[in-house]
Amino acid sequence: MLGLMQQWPLLCHKIIDHAAAQHSRREIVSRSIEGPIVRTTYEQVRERSLRVAARLAAEGFERGDRIATLAWNGARHIEAWYGIMGMGGVYHTLNPRLFPDQIAWIMNHAEDKALFVDLTFLPIVAKIAPLVKSLKKIVVLTDAAHMPAGAPAGAVPYEEWLAEAATGFEWLAMDENEACGMCYTSGTTGDPKGVVYSHRSNVLHAMMAALPDAMGVSSRDVILPVVPMFHANAWGLAQSAPMVGAKLVMPGGKMDGASIYELLDTEKVTFTAAVPTVWLMLLQYLEETGKKLPYLKKVVIGGSACPRAMTKKFQENYDVEVIHAWGMTEMSPLGSLGTQKPETMHLTGEAKLDMQEKQGFAPFGVEMKVTDDDNRELPHDGKTFGRLKVRGPAVAASYYGGAGQEQFDAEGWFDTGDVAHIDENGNMQITDRAKDVIKSGGEWISTITLENLAVGHPDIAEAAAIGIRHPKWDERPLIVAVAKPGKSPTRESLIAFMDGKIAKWWMPDDVVFVSEIPHTATGKIQKTTLREQFKDYRLPTE
């Protein structure tokens, strides 16, 4: 017997339709690339998205065509997204922090046919456009007055291009399982891999993200997605915010502490999200100026492990709740969030911080387990760690073009490449990437634990732990650290700070101070580069 409900496909343009119908005057505030703060509304964004769709269709772009974006967070970028999806196209976010040759490789692999680009990135486009044979159209997200003389041949200014669109366009009717978005993994090992999102997966992910025990956003929130739209869907916020009708504040290309604080303060932001490196800059700015965060209630921190000291500062110094999150491009991207269950609500002080170091529990729509190397499921005891595997309606079933099939099994489980354990309350904690874990004397040492502990030292700005070859123990830990400005920590002071907080055999064998630690294009510590840099390093214990 079948249910007698209407067939109402889960299509992404229904999100912007809903925002315009129920929250028509709610603002989207953007720091424009040209300079000024620009204000628009959901109603206006929907109307302009329809014009984007009409213009693309009129120029012969078809259902399934990949349309790339190379842009910061702003209203025009959102308009392009919803317009691309609404005419049956597939938005493809490009990461400008990659090398031009990498971007060109990704565009050729995806066979991108058009590109929406911010002014900032025109020098990159000048290098890659001749290399992408499928590229037919370049639209620069500006107006004619700001169009530079050196723009690529044939490029058109967005505002004038949009003004020529026919009115009366209607969203394309399509199956909810059709592709609507594409994002490539950072490719830290091997070539980048394409993840293809469907309308259904994006809508379900937006619902999951907005749940009270996930990000917990509502129409009463003012949301600042500092995490870029080219980082795994801006963690779903470009879809969750209009779905609930929250005001959006888009930071453009200015990510420094002063610029982020300005938006947090002037727009009375209540909710924000970004990787730890952004919050290091904001906290440093707050400490230097003595300013507070009177409106901010909640910050989601993910992308890499959130240092305990960062959580403590936000909560104790600024009364801002920290939600430690984990996810992957392959998961749209949310996998778990560190909100509190009733079983842990009584925790305070250091015990609460212990809990918040974990990445939290999976929302509805994510199944999660840890296994050993023989695929045997391991107990949820908060101690036994193994390979973290996930599945769900917003989790990739394969990569574009069929690469990386070894990460997907016959039962639909995706091997994340992370090493983790899960406690009796379902809270998961990443202990390492499988390729980064330090194996000493046949036992695993968590580099993330060592890094978080090292960053807790008052004079350390950032730290990375890597394994150095050892004749007896196979590998031993080396801490590579960056001192805070004006501070001069020593190896001995850091070792003493860590002593007693971890098992003796986990203690690093040495500490090296550097001016900076290399990062990937997505802001993660580049362990491969560090391991190459220190491949001939001899530990004092050797």
Task: List active site positions.
Answer: 185, 330, 439, 444
Calculate ∠ Cα 347-302-35, nearest 5°.
Answer: 125
Instruction: Please report, as a single letter, which amino acid is at residue 242.
Output: P
The two tokens of residue 411 are 């039962």
Under DSSP, is residue 310 helix (H, G, I), strand (E, B) or coil? helix
Could you list the beta-strand ranges (E) of 26-102: 27-31, 37-41, 66-70, 90-93
Alpha carbons 504 and 495: distance in angstroms, whole number: 11
Q: What does each C-alpha distance from 30 to 183, 226, 451, 533 come to in angstroms?
A: 23, 12, 35, 41
CA 113 to chain centre: 25
Residue ranges of alpha helices (H) inside 173-254 are 199-210, 237-244
The two tokens of residue 386 are 């193994």
Indicate the burial class of 15 (C-beta count within 10 angstroms; 0-12, 13-18, 19 or more).
Answer: buried
Alpha carbons 476 and 55: distance in angstroms, whole number: 59
Beta-carbon contacts of 538 under 8 Å, excluding residues fewer than 6 positions away, are none
Indicate the burial class of 538 (C-beta count within 10 angstroms; 0-12, 13-18, 19 or more).
Answer: exposed
CA atoms within 13 A on the CB side of 397: 9
Q: What is the DSSP secondary structure assignment for residue 507, as one 8-state letter?
A: S
Q: 414-422 and 386-391 as β-strands: parallel, antiparallel, unpaired?
A: antiparallel
Helices 276-289, 308-318: crossing angle, 10 deg rounding: 40
Calculate ∠ Cα 344-346-347, nearest 5°.
Answer: 75
CA atoms within 13 A on the CB side of 355: 22
Partners of 38 in the beta sheet? Answer: 30
Alpha carbons 246 and 226: distance in angstroms, whole number: 15
197 neighbors 182 (Cβ within 8 angstroms): yes
Q: What is the DSSP secondary structure assignment for residue 525, as one 8-state letter?
A: B
Q: Hunting for tokens 């040492």 — which residue is that? A: 445
